Chains A and B, each alone.
Chain A
Amino acid sequence: MRSSKNWRKGVIKQRVKVSRFAKIVKLDQDAVKSLSESYQLGHHDNITYDFRSERGLTEKMVSDLSLRKGEPGWMCELRGRAYGLYQKMPMPGFGDDLSVINWEEIYYYLAPTKKESKTWEEVPDAIKRTFDKIGVPEAEQGMLSGVKAQYDSEVIYGSLRKSLSKKGVVFLGMDEGLRQYPEMVREYFSKIVPLADNKLAALNSAMWSGGSFIYVPKNVEVGLPLQAYFRINAENAGQFERTLIIADEGSKVHYVEGCSAPAYSSGSLHAAVVEIIVKKGARVQYTTVQNWYKNVFNLVTKRAWVEEEGEMRWIDGNLGSRLTMKYPACILAGRKARGETLSIAMAGAGQHQDAGAKMIHLAPETTSQIISKSISKNGGRATYRGLVKINKGAKNAKSKVVCDALILDSKSRSDTYPTNIILENEVSLEHEATVSKVGEDQLFYLMSRGLPEHEAEAMIVNGFLEPIMKQIPLEYAVEMNRLVELEMEGSVG
């Protein structure tokens, strides 16, 4: 995407390469500490927040937030219920240890400005500079139908092309969506991801702020993607954005989100909930380029409800964060509904990418496909966790799961946890899994042709990802490739 040009302006400090070919004794480096040097969006802005909650979370803070936002009573009440559930529910028993998160230290709500701006001129300078760096204004001009930029808890900028708003397309911050379309929000909010779905979803439902609200009317096709940028600026910040996308019958939309956070020593928490309704014959694609800084806990619930002949496609690229636990799901509720997830995970030093997908087949002739490619290096850990469930009655359902893992060195780890629950007889399920290591022979081969070691390694990694990159719109594939290369540059040996 266009933003790449701007990102490249960032300074990459190259660390000394320690090559296994150079026969130099390896020095034990604190790999995590040195990561900030290769993270290009690692700065943070000194801004004065319009409002910042106390650290930690209380019931009063939940109701205060609702009051502050001037929400309808039902939402305030929903938040209260969610808070109660959050208090009661256990932490997820899989993925990774979440007790390392200092829940009491987190700021659960941070408002940088009073309201969302319609033009870039209105956005405060310090914030504008950051989004300039990410490339938002430039990308908006060229290749997007609309943009939302969220800074900590609030959407600070938003736009939508006039031609689309005339056709009835709605693209708002979630808070604004609730103000303008309370009935529609009420009809769908927390229906796809119930409050009690999991503890983090309950937390999000209690403290949600920002995110996107999208409605695409019947038979309207949104040609260019709608894009949201999420930025966590404050230390120990919690970002709980909430996104609701409703694609009405026969419509089509592509939503893209990119995430970043500055370099901080103590972790931030990102617990989003995304709910998507794909109505009859509609097509929705949701692309994520997650590049959080490596101290962010990224615990996200994403789920789509897909009706007859609808198509949902998740493209989920996870490159950043300390821990990601995210399994975009499709509930294939109508006949011939289709769900697809392409998942790319890259786990470097100090990172655990616990990612995957869920496909729930409820109706006949539903089809799904999960393709997962993970790379672990420098002691990173990549986990594929997936579920395919074919319910009774989902006759002639078809599902295919392919997960490939590439391990770059002996310090790194890869695990695969596929679960298949099949309750119907006449179905087809394919599952392929491979784990491969970048052998010294592959490196030697490319190096013997004249490629330096890091280039050879990056080339092998890109080659591994190639089958999945082919399926991603070019500009996002380019961006993803570039991020992968940056990650590879930061690798030691």
Chain B
Amino acid sequence: MAFEISNLWVKIEGKEILKGISFKIEPGEVVALMGPNGSGKSTLACSLMGHPNYRIVGSLQSAVERRPIISLDGEDITNKTPDQRAKVGLFLAMQYPVSIPGVSVREALLAAIRSKTQKLKNSKTQKDMSALDLKKLIEKEAGELAIDPELLKRGLNEGFSGGEKKKMEILQMRILSPKYTILDETDSGLDIDALKIVAKGANFMAKKKKTGILVITHYQRLLSYLKPDRVLVMKDGEIVREGGIEVVEELEKRGYQTAGKSV
């Protein structure tokens, strides 16, 4: 049981951005991924979720060709579409959530849940959620995340501020209750109160629901509220350092320049 990435090489428009990324996240584990701008963090997030513009390629450098594999609790999702990945329990809270005019968060979530339970119905493990149940659940979560109820009626992310968008991502995450989740710079655009709320919610998911969390961030700020079990440092498409919370302090002091040296 784990979210495992092995030997991931990714090209965008012919250019190699990720160069053989491997790591894994256990259920309930919080792993921080840090790194300077352009190191490939968001590319990794999008590739893991299956964005079509990010092409996963086989390793060319290694003498023995090792197939890139993304697997979730033993299921190989390397060639799956984003919705299939969502269905096996992966979630990406996006760095720049796009707006979808005329589609409320409730409509989107209802369709997502229906489509998920349709699959599960065959195994009779989950009851279908009614539209009303969902509405109540959304309102409850919105309350906890201090999201203005007016926003729930609007088109998704339509005219939302940066912080509102991020909170709406967390709301969706909490309702979809994934097994593993990626928070792609969720902290940027959040004020300190919102940051605490988001961290609290993520902590709850990790501790109580055993959600494995990959936190992508530039700053220490979020990590002081959402304590990572491990820290990965990425540079030029490679993971150059792996360690405990002490790595964060190290980075704060010395920056990314020397980050790779101790590997």
A residues with CB within 8 A of B: 19-23, 439-442, 444-453, 455-456, 459-460, 462-467
Report if B87 contacts A (CB, 8 A). Answer: yes
> Is the CB–CB distance between A462 and B103 below 8 Å?
yes
Q: A452-B115, A463-B155 are in contact. Are A447 and B103 (CB under 8 A)?
A: no
> Is the CB–CB distance between A445 and B97 below 8 Å?
yes
> Is the CB–CB distance between A23 and B79 below 8 Å?
yes
Q: A21-B50, A455-B111 are in contact. Are A450 and B102 (CB under 8 A)?
A: no
Report if B51 contacts A (CB, 8 A). Answer: yes
> Is the CB–CB distance between A466 and B115 below 8 Å?
no
> Is the CB–CB distance between A448 and B92 below 8 Å?
yes
> Is the CB–CB distance between A450 and B97 below 8 Å?
no
> Is the CB–CB distance between B101 and A464 below 8 Å?
yes
Closest 5 CB pairs of A and B: A463-B102, A466-B102, A450-B86, A450-B112, A463-B103
Per DSSP, chain A at the interface is helix
Q: A459-B107, A463-B155 are in contact. Are A451 and B100 (CB under 8 A)?
A: no
Query: Which chain A residues border B116 with CB–CB below 8 Å?
Result: 450
> Is the CB–CB distance between B100 and A445 below 8 Å?
yes
Out of B52, B85, B102, B109, name the residue touching A20 (CB < 8 Å). Answer: B52
Residue of A nearest to B88 (CB): A450
Q: A446-B103, A447-B50, A466-B155 are known contacts; what are 20 more A-B pairs with Cβ within 8 Å?
A: A21-B81, A23-B52, A442-B98, A444-B49, A444-B51, A445-B98, A447-B83, A448-B49, A448-B83, A449-B91, A449-B108, A449-B112, A449-B172, A449-B176, A450-B86, A450-B112, A453-B81, A465-B102, A466-B101, A467-B102
Report if B21 contacts A (CB, 8 A). Answer: no
In B35-91, the 8 Å CB interface with A consists of 46, 49-53, 79, 81-83, 85-87, 91
> Is the CB–CB distance between B81 and A449 below 8 Å?
no
Name the distance in Å between B118's Cβ and chain A's nearest Cβ: 10
Query: Which chain B residues border A447 with CB–CB below 8 Å?
Result: 50, 81-83, 86
Q: A445-B97, A451-B115 are in contact. Are A462 and B102 (CB under 8 A)?
A: yes
Taken together as a complex, chains A and B put the C-alpha atoms of A459 and B87 apart, in Å, by 18
Most B-side CB within 10 Å, residue of A22, A451, A453: A451
8 residue pairs bridging A and B, Cβ less than 8 Å apart: A441-B98, A446-B108, A447-B86, A449-B83, A450-B113, A450-B115, A462-B102, A463-B102
Query: Which chain A residues border B172 with CB–CB below 8 Å?
Result: 449
Name the distance in Å between A45's Cβ and chain B's nearest Cβ: 37
Report if B94 contacts A (CB, 8 A). Answer: yes
Most A-side CB within 10 Å, residue of B79, B108, B176: B108
Residue of A nearest to B97 (CB): A445
Residue of B nearest to A440 (CB): B52
Most B-side CB within 10 Å, residue of A20, A21, A467: A21
Residue of B nearest to A447 (CB): B82
Name the distance in Å between B176's Cβ and chain A's nearest Cβ: 7
Q: A455-B115, A459-B107 are in contact. Are A444 and B101 (CB under 8 A)?
A: no
Query: Which chain A residues border B115 with CB–CB below 8 Å?
Result: 450-452, 455
Query: Which chain B residues border A23 with CB–CB below 8 Å?
Result: 52, 79
Taken together as a complex, chains A and B put the C-alpha atoms of A26 and B87 apart, in Å, by 25
Most B-side CB within 10 Å, residue of A439, A446, A459: A446
Taken together as a complex, chains A and B put the C-alpha atoms of A465 and B103 apart, in Å, by 10
> Is the CB–CB distance between B108 and A444 below 8 Å?
no
Out of B50, B83, B100, name the residue touching A442 (CB < 8 Å). Answer: B100
Name the distance in Å between A330's Cβ and chain B's nearest Cβ: 27
Query: Which chain B residues border A463 with CB–CB below 8 Å?
Result: 100-103, 155
> Is the CB–CB distance between A450 and B103 below 8 Å?
no
Taken together as a complex, chains A and B put the C-alpha atoms of A199 and B210 apart, in Å, by 72
Query: Which chain A residues border B102 with CB–CB below 8 Å?
Result: 462-467
> Is the CB–CB distance between B103 and A444 below 8 Å?
no
Residue of B nearest to A466 (CB): B102
Query: Which chain B residues border A446 with CB–CB below 8 Å?
Result: 100, 103, 108, 112
> Is the CB–CB distance between B101 and A451 below 8 Å?
no
Q: A444-B52, A448-B49, A459-B111 are in contact. Are A453 and B83 (CB under 8 A)?
A: yes
Most A-side CB within 10 Å, residue of B49, B83, B113, B116: B83
Residue of B nearest to A463 (CB): B102
Most B-side CB within 10 Å, residue of A19, A449, A456, A463: A449
Out of A439, A440, A441, A449, name the residue touching B86 (CB < 8 Å). Answer: A449
Name the distance in Å between A484's Cβ and chain B's nearest Cβ: 12
Taken together as a complex, chains A and B put the C-alpha atoms of A450 and B97 apart, in Å, by 15
Taken together as a complex, chains A and B put the C-alpha atoms of A448 and B91 apart, in Å, by 7
Taken together as a complex, chains A and B put the C-alpha atoms of A21 and B46 apart, in Å, by 13
Query: Which chain A residues border B113 with CB–CB below 8 Å?
Result: 450
Residue of B nearest to A21 (CB): B81
Q: A446-B100, A463-B100 are in contact. Are A451 and B112 (CB under 8 A)?
A: yes
Q: A445-B94, A448-B49 are in contact. Are A22 and B81 (CB under 8 A)?
A: yes
> Is the CB–CB distance between A449 and B109 below 8 Å?
yes
Residue of A nearest to B182 (CB): A448
Out of B52, B91, B107, B109, name the residue touching A21 (CB < 8 Å). Answer: B52
> Is the CB–CB distance between B98 and A439 below 8 Å?
yes
Taken together as a complex, chains A and B put the C-alpha atoms of A19 and B80 apart, in Å, by 11
> Is the CB–CB distance between A21 and B82 below 8 Å?
yes
Taken together as a complex, chains A and B put the C-alpha atoms of A460 and B103 apart, in Å, by 7
Taken together as a complex, chains A and B put the C-alpha atoms of A383 and B94 apart, in Å, by 35
Out of A22, A439, A440, A459, name the residue touching B108 (CB < 8 Å). Answer: A459
Query: Which chain B residues border A464 with CB–CB below 8 Å?
Result: 101-102
Residue of B nearest to A439 (CB): B98
Taken together as a complex, chains A and B put the C-alpha atoms of A442 and B46 apart, in Å, by 13
Query: Which chain B residues border A467 with CB–CB below 8 Å?
Result: 102
Taken together as a complex, chains A and B put the C-alpha atoms of A21 and B112 apart, in Å, by 17
Taken together as a complex, chains A and B put the C-alpha atoms of A444 and B108 apart, in Å, by 13
